[in-house]
Amino acid sequence: MNSDATITCDVLIIGSGAAGLSLALQLAKEYQVVVLSKGPLAEGSTYYAQGGIAAVFDANDSIESHIEDTLIAGAGICDSAVVRYTAERAKESLKWLIELGVDFDREPDENGEPRFHLTREGGHSHRRILHSADATGRAVQSTLTSQALSHPNIQVLEHCNAIDLITSGSPEQSRCIGAYVWNRRQEQVLTVAAKFTALCTGGASKVYQYTSNPDIASGDGIAMAWRAGCRVGNMEFNQFHPTCLFHPNARNFLLTEALRGEGALLKRPDGSRFMPDFHALAELAPRDVVARAIDYEMKRLGADCMYLDISHKPADFIRQHFPTIYEKCKSLGIDITAEPMPIVPAAHYTCGGVVTDLNAKTDVDNLYAIGEVAYTGLHGANRMASNSLLECVVFARAAAADITAKIENTQLVKEIAGWDESKVTNSDEEVIIQHNWHELRLFMWDYVGIVRTDKRLERALRRVEMLQHEIHDYYANFRVSNNLLELRNLAQVAQLIIESAMLRKESRGLHYTLDYPELANDSSATILTPPKRRI
């Protein structure tokens, strides 16, 4: 039967992290906003971000230095105009968060007056990271959540998965008019009609067997945008966080890069350091260098993990600066003030995504993409630490301004066909989803992980194409579920990652292949165009 459950709004925001809620709060002053959250409102990558947000607050620092550091970390293929745009708007974006109530750490200056405590992370030449202890994401998410929940013009729909975007017009000139949404609690598909839609769904690290991300990071926005006709860019660049806690009960708990910024050292099981053998910056080298070094040492030694050691610092300093990590490790029987932490790399951040412009607009009219779901050109071949939350806020503000300028002349399309599930039944073969789910994540880890080869990529492509046929048949015959929707999206994103990696005949940034270990002389972003838009 067709569902007649329809919701209308001015702006539909799919995702409830820093990008989504920042956009919602910018727009809700004048317009009706609906925010979709796949789980509870606070459950997302923003909440778990430990490090901080980069911006120039120190008189000895400069915007030009922030730009230069970002371009270097991006390994030569950042969009320099986007980098400048972001760095120039960093301070005002941080001030907006501070005005909302985000409590960044402060310290007394030489006159005893309070100033922001700035830390330094890998790739940065200065201390420019504003943070809230080692739980900055939680501070940002909590503030944005409380503001959104109390706003009369923001309607939050929790435990709701977007299924697909709804578009009108031709493939070459389509317009987004809303989305179909699966309400998991009511087990009902809703039709949401909106003048504008924004994808703020985060990244796709769940495509890998080991990830620091929460369960919801399944590439939904990237897959939906691709199916709707949007180009994607730089999908081969998946950042593996070098230091995730290696413990059976830790679920790859992330150990912030700020630990290394404050002097933590990477060590082999025998206690010797190894990063000076790989890079002049040692522990402060870019993340891709550190992740490959750890991966290399683990494979060379046949070791299950390496170690991160900050125990040489005063115990009070460690507890004050890293209380969340201290308590987490303590609960697992590890005293980080006296012993090293066992660590392994894990998939952490998707540097590519849906192609957007400086207003966060995609190829489809009235559709925006903000944050980790988007490819703006800021990150290039590698993301510099603490530029991610910054990107969310800067481009949420840009999108809000662009939407505000257009919304009065945009008509809401109310007559949208409801979701048709008259030809599907309840599944009696959930085991297929579980099997395909595990197979996908395992071969992506083995074949499309930190170190790649042409043969590995070819094997991965054959397997993902076979899986997609099975998933398509399953999707056509059975009612939707959370696992099915995520598997469908992950398989699509996996294909995009593999195809992008196959196109890059060099090793650059996060993409390292044994078949092409050197940099190419002429390199640029990898852009894929959906079949429906190809001429």
Q: How far from chain centre, in Å, is Cα 264?
A: 25
User: Coil, helix or strand for 234?
Assistant: coil
Amino acid at 77: I
Amino acid at 206: K
- pLDDT by residue (tens digit) across 370-395? 999 999 999 999 998 899 999 999 99
Identify whether the C-beta of residue 382 lies closer than 8 Å to the C-beta of residue 509: yes
Which residues make Cβ contacts (< 8 Å) with residue 49, sequence separation at least 6?
136, 137, 140, 388, 389
pLDDT at 1 over 50: no
Confidence of residue 367 (pLDDT cuts 50, 70, 90): very high
CA-nearest of 471, 47, 503 to 254 is 47
Q: Read out DSSP for 314-374?
A: -HHHHHHH-HHHHHHHHHTT--TTTSPEEEEEEEEEE--EEE--TT-B-SSBTEEE-GGGE
- Percent of the chain whose predicted confidence (pLDDT) is above 70: 97
Confidence of residue 215 (pLDDT cuts 50, 70, 90): confident
Which pLDDT belongs to residue 173?
A: 83
At 475, which helix (H) or strand (E)? helix 454-477
- pLDDT by residue (tens digit) across 442-500? 899 889 999 899 999 999 999 999 999 999 988 888 888 888 999 999 999 999 999 99
- pLDDT by residue (tens digit) across 120-179? 887 889 999 999 887 888 899 999 999 999 999 999 999 999 999 999 988 778 999 999
Which pLDDT belongs to residue 533?
A: 62
Which pLDDT belongs to residue 479?
A: 84
What pTM did the predictor assign? 0.89
Known active-site residue 287 = yes
Residue with tokens 């990477």: 266
Of 71-75, 195-199, 256-260, which has the strongest mean pLDDT? 195-199
Which pLDDT belongs to residue 375?
A: 98
Confidence of residue 413 (pLDDT cuts 50, 70, 90): very high
Measured between alpha carbons, how far is 471 from 177 in angstroms, rounded to an integer?
A: 26
Domains, the chain:
6-235+351-409 (3.50.50.60), 238-348 (3.90.700.10), 429-517 (1.20.58.100)
CA-nearest of 207, 172, 220 to 530 is 172
Query: Of 287, 441, 456, 488, which one is the catalytic site residue?
Result: 287
Q: Read out DSSP for 498-526?
A: HHHHHH--S-BTTB-BTTS-SPPSS----
Least confident piece of the model among 32-36, 184-188, 428-432: 428-432
Instruction: Work out the average pLDDT over 8-28.
Output: 97
